[in-house]
Structure 1
């Protein structure tokens, strides 16, 4: 779909109504340049534009595919294809929406192909139309306007990502287990965002080379480059911080799991002691509960009953109590000297490493 198409000459737009690709291609011979903007065009529409402006078939194929990284490609006819990744933060879903802009840049025309809702360019066109001194420098001024808007749109994304990371970081370092899936998701988003930002530095650096851009535009390109460097550093730091948060969250999960294991071990210990107490009692009761003639014939008075039953039950319990007390008082075996020396060496190395930082 054609969003807008205009002919610019002497720093001004020559008509208010958008033109067709054929009309725009004819205006290329009248001086100035044409800016044709397309949004998610179909193959037939791209073939129509390609036929009108003589674009390279490989460049058109690139504009139809979705790329993970920005890139720049120079073709034999002098046309340069620049592919940018755009980003926008969705507050409701707390996710980053990405898009793509393919720019066909030539001396007398600029064609932008947008993919995704996060690739709006109306603001860049309006801003450039208010700067006739920049429009007079030619079609490359549109590249500055597009890059400036795309890089400026990165800043809110960095801010929102920072807010999400701070929330996760506060949860983890408070000793509470954070959802690991959320941390992985944020790290993946930060990595994808980094892939959109970092390669753009090389694309922008090409137009900072001597003779590549008009002298009037060089300060503006350098300003965009400085902003992009700042965004690149912040995104790289966020990606590293998320890796640290993920490791800390795993450590918190391990601590919580150890607490659960300790509680389970304490419970099992109590159950084991209880079962151990009743084991000799069950043996005594079971033994004297047998209906052998000797037992029935010899346990016929209160004294025999008291001796063989009550005392027979108390003696195993007393012996078990003494045995458990002795096990608790058993001293812990000393640490071997080799292990003690290894621990001291590790502590010295850790202290030296901390002092050298």
Structure 2
């Protein structure tokens, strides 16, 4: 029986423990560049067995939100290099999450980033319900452009190119974002993907884009350095799925690629977890469906009982840079100030103290 505090090998990734820092958008990039504060933020959390960065767009049109970083220019590679060096100096392991947001974007956000007012793209020209943050406040989603066959091939190539740049920047690997209503998830969804060609229709066709992205990234940097994140039925980004039929098929196909890990977001339908666990022969990182922060520390028990090989935490890593130490000691956990979660300066970002740094009462 393993515990969450024991090392784990996931492909070529070597995790000092089985507690993972989940990806979290923080909207603190300088344009599309990570900053010195970004390096400090991740280095402070290098006690995690694995850090998965915030979503990083593999192309200009892949940007969804304001002030999110990219990985498609030389300047971005150089800036991320400072981040990976800081994490490695602190003994950490870090992968870049590649996130193309697809139709969940807005021309105002790419314009503010200096790339022009780009129209978001998606599997079909279907607008998502809801609104998105922009530099001038919340705005309705816009009608996306439907990707052509050539553009689909180009987008797959963008993921592979970004993965290569991630390795050049010093990352230990990449995580493909196939979850939470973004582009890969949109291809999986029955309401966002209305295509009648080989990229839409049946579950076998709708999983094709995700599989091709995974194959391309694995071919670019090695399957042993490639993970993928999925979120069956969580509904984010206005997605609707036939998830009971689709995800076992998708995971079984992904399993043949020999990827480093599957990062499963459980919140949509927890009953899928054991089903997908059986379909996946590799390392499973689980982001469990615990509703409240008070319940989150119980996640570590899911490693001991074999539910998952590792577990991920998000919000608790914001406010507890030494989360692993605190969980191991059963120490009090600080709650994050979510009013400072997105944008801003170092406050609510790099100024949360460790337990050791707190004054003794």
TM-score (norm 1): 0.24
**Which of the two has greater helix per residue?**
1
TM-score (norm 2): 0.24
Larger RCO of the pair (alpha carbons < 8 Å, separation 6+):
2
Structure with bigger gyration radius: 1
